[in-house]
């Protein structure tokens, strides 16, 4: 018995060691390309870079496992996650719809949002939808295709702040919280109140959700919450005090990539850890995460590669037809964040890459004077291209079957 226990403990230790994150590879990779990375490597604290790269290795049955590499990863070092939180809201909203299916609710049901607290707004129509009516499905399409802020806010209200944060913890995303709506100055008491919502199938009311209140604060142990030397207030007046981001959303890089891995490869996780999503839910996510704005009916003036920062930066180019990038990016307060799963169908390449970088040379926040074009976007592009080169030359025991990601973008 003692021998069996010892053997079991040894196997556990070997498993843990095998899964240990490599913290040197990415540093050496960037140091090997000084013409691309010296400027940011010389100021890792200033630019607040964090990177998480996971190789995907398939077995003979096409089941994936991950080998992970990190640079400067610190789940307690705060960065503003901006729109990257929207992917969690998309998943959790679909899970809630599936729980309420017995009532007749679907993602296509008309969603009428009312108001019941100061500052809340109503939504009765959606002119961007073909039927001019709001729905969970259409909000998801707008979030994944053009990162629409109002669409996220409506899903935030539907799920409810308490349930969002419960789901983060239930999924092992312990270094994150989602507290606020986006782009409307949502904070304090207003963020704790969610609008009443009614859902209809035609003229039939199928679900009536009352206004919700969540008193919890969701404290996290975070550093770097106070930044810079000043900021512009709501009246565009300069305040000569550091900018305080306490009480805002937090979405650690490791949690972002774990969420993406569970979405892309549910089969790699135990059944009880998978999202409660249908085949159609996964298809909706995959399609609109990887779809280009120019492939939609309403491109909203976004160019093709607008959102694919971890390979194209912000270049306006024609994308490689063999490549698809499934991602959710964010940009705000000088931060650029991208969380992606990358595929090259021709060369059998696939990998996960998530990264954050900030550049705010003048130390002033809310002035819209950030160094995105000169620092952040070039870094994202160079990092993505460098990882792609690694993957292009990496030997694999089994070539992946990527057929489930060959999607119809015509609808």
pLDDT at 19: 55
How many helices (H) and strands (E) would you count in the chain? 13, 17
Distance CA 257, CA 252 (A): 9
Distance CA 373, CA 292 (A): 21
Is 60 exceeded by the pLDDT of residue 238? yes
Closest CA to 331 of 375, 374, 372, 384: 372
Tell me the average pLDDT across 194-214. Answer: 98
Tell me the average pLDDT across 94-114. Answer: 98
In this prediction the pTM is 0.94
pLDDT at 280: 98
Q: Can you state the percent helix, strand and coil of the chain, rounding each to 5? A: 40, 20, 40
Least trusted range by pLDDT, from 122-126, 133-137, 294-298: 294-298
Distance CA 25, CA 21 (A): 10
Rg (CA), the chain: 22
Is 60 exceeded by the pLDDT of residue 35? yes
Tell me the average pLDDT across 352-357. Answer: 98
Q: Which residues of 248-270 are buried (b: 16+ CB within 10 A; e: fewer)?
A: bbbbbbbbbbbbbbbbbbeeeee
3-state secondary structure of 19: coil
pLDDT at 352: 98
pLDDT at 1: 47
- The contacts of residue 204 (CB under 8 Å, 6+ apart) are 104
- Give Cα separations from 273 to 137, 169, 173, 261, 277 (angstroms): 24, 12, 12, 12, 12
pLDDT band at 43 (very low <50, low <70, confident <90, very high): confident
Bridge partners of 111, per DSSP, are 199
pLDDT at 302: 86
Distance CA 267, CA 269 (A): 5
Is 60 exceeded by the pLDDT of residue 11? no
Closest CA to 78 of 245, 260, 255: 245
């Amino acid at each position: 018995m003692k021998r069996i226990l010892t053997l079991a403990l040894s196997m556990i230790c070997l498993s843990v060691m095998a899964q240990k994150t490599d913290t040197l590879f990415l540093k050496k990779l960037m140091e090997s390309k000084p013409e691309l990375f010296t400027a940011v490597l010389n100021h890792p604290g200033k630019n607040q870079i964090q990177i998480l790269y996971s190789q995907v290795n398939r077995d003979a049955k096409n089941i994936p496992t991950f080998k992970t590499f990190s640079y400067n990863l610190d789940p307690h070092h705060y960065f503003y996650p901006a729109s990257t939180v929207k992917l969690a809201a998309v998943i959790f909203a679909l899970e809630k719809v599936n729980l309420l299916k017995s009532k007749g609710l679907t993602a296509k049901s008309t969603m009428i949002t009312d108001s019941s607290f100061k500052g809340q707004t109503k939504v009765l129509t959606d002119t961007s939808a073909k039927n001019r009516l709001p729905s969970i499905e259409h909000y998801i399409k707008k979030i994944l295709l053009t990162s629409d802020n109002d669409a996220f806010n409506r899903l935030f209200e539907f799920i409810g702040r308490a349930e969002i944060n419960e789901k983060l913890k239930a999924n092992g995303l312990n270094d994150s919280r989602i507290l606020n709506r986006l782009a409307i100055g949502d904070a304090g008491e207003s963020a704790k109140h969610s609008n009443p919502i009614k859902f209809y199938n035609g003229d039939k009311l199928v679900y009536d959700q009352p206004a919700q209140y969540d008193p919890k604060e969701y404290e996290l142990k975070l550093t770097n919450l106070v930044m810079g030397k000043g900021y512009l207030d709501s009246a565009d007046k300069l305040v000569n005090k550091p900018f305080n981001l306490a009480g805002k959303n937090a979405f650690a890089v490791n949690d972002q990539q774990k969420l993406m891995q569970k979405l892309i490869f549910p089969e790699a996780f135990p059944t009880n850890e998978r999202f409660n999503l249908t085949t159609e839910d996964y298809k909706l996510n995959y399609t609109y995460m990887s779809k280009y704005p120019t492939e939609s009916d309403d491109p909203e003036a976004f160019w093709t590669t607008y959102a694919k920062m971890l390979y194209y930066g912000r270049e306006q180019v024609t994308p490689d037809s063999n490549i698809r990038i499934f991602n959710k990016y964010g940009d705000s307060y000088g931060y650029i964040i991208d969380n992606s799963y990358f595929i090259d169908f021709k060369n059998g390449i696939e990998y996960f890459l998530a990264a954050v970088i900030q550049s705010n040379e003048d130390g002033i926040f809310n002035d819209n004077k950030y160094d995105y074009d000169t620092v952040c976007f070039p870094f994202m592009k160079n990092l993505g291209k460098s990882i792609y080169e690694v993957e292009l030359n990496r030997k694999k025991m089994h070539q992946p079957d990527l057929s489930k990601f060959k999607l119809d973008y015509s609808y």
